[in-house]
Amino acid sequence: MQRALDVEPTSEYIKNAIVNYYESLHRYDECLAAEQKYFNGKPRVSCLLGKGRLDEAQAKIEQALAKEPDNAEGHRMKATLSALRGDFRAAEAEIFLLLTTSPASTRWRARVMKQLNG
């Protein structure tokens, strides 16, 4: 991927692909470093959750949901945050909300189940 970035240094697609790569491998230190390098240190909630930086993740989730209350990704991350904090009832409530209100509930159901199964 570095070669692709050398050829096209301003490509947002390639920069996102690099961050996605680290995130998908659960290499959260590298994920956060890449976000710092390419996106001025605006970390993804999923990487913050992976690193255990739960308070920072919560703040970002709350901001996202305040701007867009029906944001399915925000609710999925809120469910994950609640589960990581041991509040499984709150996590289940968020999952139920996702499964019953999301227009793409089949897709979200698969993502939520994957997240829960680790």
Q: What was the pLDDT predicted at 8?
A: 86
Gyration radius from the chain CA atoms: 15
Collapsing DSSP to helix, strand or coil, 52 comes out as: coil
Q: Where are the domains of the chain?
A: 2-43, 58-117
Q: Tell me which residue of 29, 73, 71, 72 sits closest to 47, measured CA to CA.
A: 29
Q: What was the pLDDT predicted at 76?
A: 93
- Show the tokens assigned to 46: 């999923």
Q: Tell me which residue of 73, 18, 14, 15 sits closest to 49, measured CA to CA.
A: 73
User: Is the pLDDT reported for residue 103 higher than 70?
Assistant: no
User: Is the pLDDT reported for residue 82 higher than 80?
Assistant: yes
CA–CA distance, 103 with 22 (Å, rounded to integer): 29
* pLDDT tens per residue across span 11-41: 899 999 999 999 999 999 999 999 999 998 7
